[in-house]
Structure 1
Amino acid sequence: MAQRDRVMRMSVEQPLWRALAGYRVLTMIYAIGLFAAAHDGFARPWLAIAYFAVLGVWTLATLPKVASAAACTKPFLAADLAVALTGILITPLADAAQRVHDGGPTLPSIWTAGSVLAFAVKGGWRWAALASTLVAVANLVERGTPARDTVHNVVLVWVASIAIGYVVEVARASERTLARALEIEAATRERERLARDIHDSVLQVLAMVQRRGAVIGGEAAELGRMAGEQEVALRTLVSGGLVPVSRASEDAAQGAVVRSVEEDEPDDDGPVDLRSLLAPHAGSRVSLAEPGAP
């Protein structure tokens, strides 16, 4: 039984989704730990507790949403970013004013970067730039003044998310190119297999009909001429090229005579595809053997 090649496609970005899921869980635990270590200094700790309860449930419940690009939908990304922005904006209400002024962490802390990275992995650097810009505006509003550490963190998230988004786009383009190359390779192997089968059966029959028709003469010669034309067309089709226009003489008395074709000389001395130069000379009596052809 003949074996057929099967092209298997593997997403190069799938490890990024697994890493993002782990990052979201770890940073959620980290943000809760920061609050637990400094909860005595919060002006309204109950507000922070309520937010972290929502954040914990949301993070764990949406883990399937960050499992793949198909599952990560636009509504989820919008809601996820809204959770992060809400946590940033309510930080001055929950935390003490002095801690906010001194540059204390926001409620979601570095969990916010996970939301921005989801935009980057899903939509590339343009989506990442949009999400990181919204986070930057929220951080500036929360702080009140563009302090140096705030600007530093904003620029860091902005540059990192755009860089990751760009890498994802390049990886996707490379994946498509590789998949296309594998498909072409599989198709070439299948064509070569078919070419061998056809060479052992149909082409030999057509060649025999052509020769016998030329020997018998009369109407058999016309049949032989037609068989020769079909042999040439079939060889060209199997080899992967276009079927050339018939160059056999319309005069049945001459049999399958190939007409001469004038070819223009190339304008430069660069590389020339010999197949295009030799193909006009192929016919019912002349066979053209090329790479991958029978």
Structure 2
Amino acid sequence: MTPRDRDLAVTGAGAAVEDRLFRALALVRVLVTINLIVLNIYRRDNYDHPWAAVVAVGAMVAWTGYAIWASTSAQRRTTTFLALDLAWAVGSIAATPLIKGADYNATIPGFWVMGALLAWAVHWHWKGGLAAAALLSITDLVLRDGIDQANYGNVFLLMIGGPTVGYMCASLQRMATERDTAERAAAAAEERTRLARAVHDGVLQVLALVQRRGTETGAPPELAELGRLAGEQERLLRSLIRQQGTVTAGPAVSDLAGMLEELGTRHSLRVEVATPGVPVPLPSDVAHEIAAAVGSCLDNVATHVGAGARVWVLLEALPDEVVVSVRDDGPGIPSGRLESAAAEGRLGVSESIRGRIADLGGTATLDTGTHGTEWELTVPL
């Protein structure tokens, strides 16, 4: 039994499926027990010890009643019960030559052994079905003087049916578990969306208003500082709202828009970040490399222009590529500075920016002058 199979068996959805399958198996046990009684009455002249046959059939009927009662409860459906269930099936086959005689044709239980076989398949999946089928088949074949076409057909059906039913049971449990997980994720996403709407309609509008009032001409320094802080919190909340749309995408995907929003919020510079307004999901390694390159651009502005510089970050999500523009209001990069820095071994621009983007198969284009400096980072998807 694989660890995944064990996990399926203990989860709520997987356990519920197993309970239903055992309830369906109870009906199968009733039908094969009726078949057991009818066939043995029909073959009553084939026994060397008729009264022993009556006792054996009665014992199997009694065990059927107990097995139905025990198997329909998860607490009673223990490993010991399943082992005894299969032992009854094997024992009834083994008792056939003692009761019918050595020249018997059909076993006493016949199809009655399906109850134990299917129970193992439901509980232990294809491995349980295969193990039970192999034990029943070996017991049947060892006791016979020869193997004819009918015996071969019975064994073939057991060896095929047990694992097949077990595999189907495992698939049903897996689908139920995945459906249960998807329903929980959908409910969580719906709740996050509802909260995001509430935040957008209330908190974000208030923060935006405070920011605008703080940046108005003539505003006192305290209000200006409050406006700046409100702007940072607004960007952070917008980043969180965008990220909630990609929570279910899995650990291999990250929202580049949310990462850039967060980067602009926590940086010491005054950074204005403009994104499409919706999540921009990318493979996590690609998104982190682009965000790291943008962070290097911001660090360069802080180092060479100063803490009072303003920076604008623009993200464009196109069908076949993403483009990130990072522009500042500084005096520009003097001609030849990047080349001399690379010659001196200072590889911040060449490695942290151009190198990262080149590794992703993209380009990093620089435009600098008295109007400021702008990096355009283009990465193909």
TM-score bracket relative to the smaller structure: 0.7 to 0.9
Structure 2 CA distance for partners of 1:250 and 1:19, relative to 1, 3 Å: closer
**Would you say 1:250 and 2:268 are equivalent positions?**
yes
- 2:162 equivalent to 1:184: no
- 189-198 or 206-215, larger mean C-alpha shift: 206-215
Partner of 1:108: 109
Tell me the TM-score normalised to structure 1 length: 0.77
SS for the counterpart of 2:108 is coil
Equivalent in 20, 25, 50 of residue 20 of structure 1: 25
What does 1:1-294 correspond to in 2, within 5 Å? 11=16, 15-67=20-72, 72-98=77-103, 100=104, 103-104=105-106, 106-215=107-216, 216-239=219-242, 240=244, 244=259, 245-248=262-265, 250-251=268-269, 257-260=310-313
Q: What SS class does the counterpart of residue 58 from structure 1 fall into? A: helix
Q: What's the % identity of the aligned pairs?
A: 35
After TM superposition, the score normalised by the length of structure 2 is 0.61
SS at match of 2:264: coil
CA separation of 1:151/1:9 partners in 2, compared to 1, >3 Å: closer, same or farther?
A: closer
Q: Report the counterpart of residue 292 of structure 1 in structure 2.
A: none
Displaced runs of 4 or more, over 6 A = 252-256, 278-281
The CA distance in 2 between the partners of 1:51 and 1:193, in whole Å, is: 65
Count residues in correspondence.
Answer: 263
What is aligned with 2:333? none
Structure 1 counterpart of 2:29, one-letter code: R
- Residues 228 and 255 from structure 1, CA distance in 2 versus in 1: closer, same or farther, beyond 3 angstroms? farther
**CA RMSD, aligned part only?**
3.3
- Using the TM superposition, name which of 49-58 and 82-91 deviates more: 49-58
* Aligned 8 A contact 2:134 2:159 in 1: yes
Name the aligned partner's letter for residue 114 of structure 2: A
After superposition, the Cα gap between the structure-2 partners of 1:255 and 1:230, relative to the gap in structure 1 and judged at 3 Å, is: farther
Code of the aligned partner of 2:140: N
CA contact (8 A) 1:125 1:164 kept: yes
Which structure has the higher relative contact order (CA within 8 Å, separation 6+)?
1
2:224 counterpart letter in structure 1: A
Alpha-carbon distance between aligned partners in 1 of 2:182 and 2:325, rounded to the nearest angstrom: 26
Residues 311, 326 of structure 2: 8 Å contact kept: no
Structure 1 residues 257 and 114 mapped into 2: Cα distance closer, same or farther (>3 Å)?
A: farther
Deviation at 1:56, TM superposition (A): 1.6
Answer whether contact 2:13 2:173 (CA < 8 A) is retained: no
The alpha carbon displacement at 1:51 in A equals 2.1
Separation (CA, whole Å) in 2 of partners of 1:180 and 1:213: 46
Q: Which amino acid aligns with 2:231?
A: G
Q: Which runs of 5+ in 1 are unaligned?
A: 1-7, 282-294
User: Do 1:27 and 1:110's aligned partners in 2 also have CA atoms closer than 8 Å?
Assistant: yes
Query: Secondary structure at the residue paired with 1:144?
Result: coil
What is the letter of the counterpart of residue 201 of structure 1? G
Q: Tell me, yes or no, if the aligned pair for 1:17 and 1:66 is still in contact at 8 Å.
A: yes
In structure 1, what is the Cα distance between the partners aligned to 2:157 and 2:313? 70
Distance 1:58 1:198, change over 3 A: same
Between structure 1 and structure 2, the one with the greater Rg is: 2
SS in structure 2 of the partner of residue 62 of structure 1: helix
Q: 1:174 to 1:197 in 2, by over 3 A?
A: same
